[in-house]
Amino acid sequence: AGDGGTADIGIQALSGMVERGTKAIYVMYDNEAYMNTGIQRSSSTPSGAWTTTTQVGEV
């Protein structure tokens, strides 16, 4: 899964898997944005990274 899908959208499924004690290997690919929706920022996008939804200027 991607980093946005893991940290934002998929956290419910991931936490449920952990709570149930499911034996699994979970692989996360950190591409720093939602690539399938046009490079939108996610909660795991690092500060200063460029995305199509990143604010311009100083924050």
The domain containing residue 8 runs over which residues? 3-37
Q: Model-level pTM? A: 0.66
The answer to whether position 44 is within a domain reads no
The answer to whether position 49 is within a domain reads no
The answer to whether position 27 is within a domain reads yes
The answer to whether position 21 is within a domain reads yes
The answer to whether position 32 is within a domain reads yes
Task: Give the tens place of pLDDT for each residue, 19-46.
Answer: 999 999 999 898 889 988 899 998 889 9
Q: So what's the pLDDT on residue 2?
A: 87
Could you tell me how far CA 48 lies from the centroid of its own chain? 16
- Residue type, position 50, single letter: W
Contacts of 6 (CB under 8 A, 6+ apart): 14, 28, 44
Q: So what's the pLDDT on residue 58?
A: 63
The answer to whether position 14 is within a domain reads yes
Q: So what's the pLDDT on residue 55?
A: 82
Domain count, the chain: 1
The answer to whether position 46 is within a domain reads no
The answer to whether position 52 is within a domain reads no
